[in-house]
Structure 1
Amino acid sequence: MARYLSFLPHRAAVPAALIALCIGTPGHGEVLEASDTHYRLAHEANTDLTPAALWGRLVNPARWWNPLHSFSGVADNLQLDARAGGLWREDWDGGSVAHGRVLQVRDGELLRLEAPFGPLQGLGAYVVWTITITPGEIGGSTVTFEEVASAPPGSGLDQLAGAVDGVKAEALARLAGE
């Protein structure tokens, strides 16, 4: 189950399995809209980390991404080349995957990826994940995740949106150090 469900014989099993991945994760963010071919998510968290410290964590996903949501199950196999065209990738003995491609970077402020993680790749989904970091009003930082996805008709993104939302809510909490 932790290998992004690549063993599933067909897409029909993906929504239920993705939901199962999210059981026990911290509070979910918000699914702003969802349809068969589209979803939009938004999350925000405050942290005591400075923007520079938070950026340092962000560009090292092995420090905060849950390895249960990886193909190898090992966080140390994750790496991010945080420059336009760079990859969020995972390499392990016998395999590798490009989870996302960097579209835009403003060091310390913004990271935007084309990132159809896990089963979304097999659906032919186009997913843009934007992560912004701003200084907090009284110290620390605010980090925002926004994600927009589109896919061909029959993709069932409305059924997947809640599960993806749970994974991103957990990722945000881990990144922010909660």
Structure 2
Amino acid sequence: MFRFILPLVAALSATVVQAEVTNTSDNGFTVTHAAAVNAAPDVVWKTIIAPARWWNGEHSFSGDAENFYLVPQAGGCFCELLRTTSEENIKSAEGSVQHMRVIFAQNNKALRMSGALGPLQGEAVTGTLTIGLRPDGENTAVSFVYKVGGYMEFPVDQIAPAVDAVIGEQLTRLAALYAPEEDVEAEHGEEPEGTKEAE
């Protein structure tokens, strides 16, 4: 299950230019992250809509990032199959989870989804994640802004930094897919689990 409260392990290779809890109130918060990704917007977009490639399987209900899928159109689902074998599909799997619902999608530019992630799913809150892409020379400037508001039993001063860390980790993993090869090898020696290039 999502491990928002656990400390994160070693940071991956990517230059995050902004990463912080940018606003808090008694019943909500905003976290903002930005990074320069070493690829063109259309390439980054194709990766974003394939969350199995970059979302950490540690932050899932099944424990396996391969069970994630995303339909990048209004009403589409960022979902996860609860299955034990790769042959199981949505009809034969043990169950499924809707993490977020797509409410805005513009190819190569923006993806906005509504959903309370991880342990927030059991609270009476609304979460909105906006992913923005903008050409920046040969790179793509990517931003993740996640806004959460409503009634929850988690103290904001505790849950906001934890969610901030998890959202930041996913953007870092996305950027790491396109980091210069020598940087990745120097930092880690191998690609992080769940981020292999699609065949």
TM-score w.r.t. the length of structure 2 is: 0.76
Residues 30 and 146 of structure 2 are in contact (CA less than 8 Å); yes or no, is this contact kept in structure 1? yes
Which structure 1 residue ranges, 5 or more long, are not aligned? 5-16
Match of 1:77 among 63, 67, 90: 67
Counterpart position of 1:37: 27
Which amino acid in 2 is paired with 1:39? Answer: F
Counterpart position of 1:65: 55
1:24 and 2:23 are equivalent in the alignment = no
Flag the 1:146–1:174 CA change in 2: closer, same or farther, 3 A.
same
How high is the sequence identity, in percent, across the aligned residues?
35
Larger radius of gyration: 2
Residues 123 and 152 of structure 2 are in contact (CA less than 8 Å); yes or no, is this contact kept in structure 1? no
Counterpart position of 1:152: 151
1:101 and 2:109 are equivalent in the alignment = no
Secondary structure class of the residue paired with 2:124: coil
Alignment RMSD, CA only? Answer: 1.7
Secondary structure class of the residue paired with 2:159: helix
Flag the 1:96–1:134 CA change in 2: closer, same or farther, 3 A.
same
Which structure 2 residue ranges, 5 or more long, are not aligned? 84-93, 180-199
Deviation of 1:24 after TM superposition, in Å, equals 2.0
TM-score w.r.t. the length of structure 1 is: 0.85
Counterpart position of 2:193: none
Structure 1 stretches of 4+ moved >4 Å: none
Which amino acid in 1 is paired with 2:173? Answer: R
Quick check: which one's helix share is greater?
1
Counterpart position of 1:111: 111
1:163 and 2:158 are equivalent in the alignment = no
